[in-house]
Amino acid sequence: YYVSKLIPLMAEAQLHVVANPLINITLQGRHDSYPKRRGMTRVPELLAAGLNVAFGHDCVMDPWYALGSGDMLEVAHMGLHVAQMTGQAAMRQCFDAVTVNAARAMGLQGYGLEVGCKADFVLLQARDPVEAIRLRANRLKVFKAGKRIAESAAATGSLHLPGRPTHTDWTR
Q: Which CATH superfamily is domain 1-108 in?
A: Metal-dependent hydrolases (3.20.20.140)
pLDDT at residue 169 is higher than 80: no
Write down the domain spans for the chain: 1-108, 110-172
Look at 165 and 130; give whichever has higher pLDDT: 130
pLDDT at residue 170 is higher than 80: no
What's the maximum distance between 2 C-alpha atoms anywhere in the chain? 61
Instruction: State the Cα–Cα distance between residues 110 and 105, nearest whole angstrom.
Output: 13
Segment 138-143 shows an average pLDDT of: 96
Are 64 and 30 spatial neighbours (Cβ–Cβ below 8 Å)? no
Instruction: State the Cα–Cα distance between residues 159 and 165, nearest whole angstrom.
Output: 7
Cα 51 to the center of its chain, rounded Å: 17
Architecture of the domain defined by 110-172 = Roll (2.30)
Nearest CA to 98 out of 22, 162, 2 is that of: 22
pLDDT digits (tens, 9 = 90+) for 65-114: 888 899 999 999 999 999 999 999 999 999 999 999 999 999 999 888 88
pLDDT digits (tens, 9 = 90+) for 15-51: 999 999 998 888 888 888 988 777 899 999 999 999 9
Nearest CA to 19 out of 28, 6, 11 is that of: 28
Q: Amino acid identity of 48?
A: A
CA triplet 70, 130, 3: central angle to 5 degrees? 75
Are 137 and 123 spatial neighbours (Cβ–Cβ below 8 Å)? no
Q: Amino acid identity of 6?
A: L
pLDDT at residue 171 is higher than 90: no
Residue 166 has a CB neighbour count (10 Å cut-off) of: 9
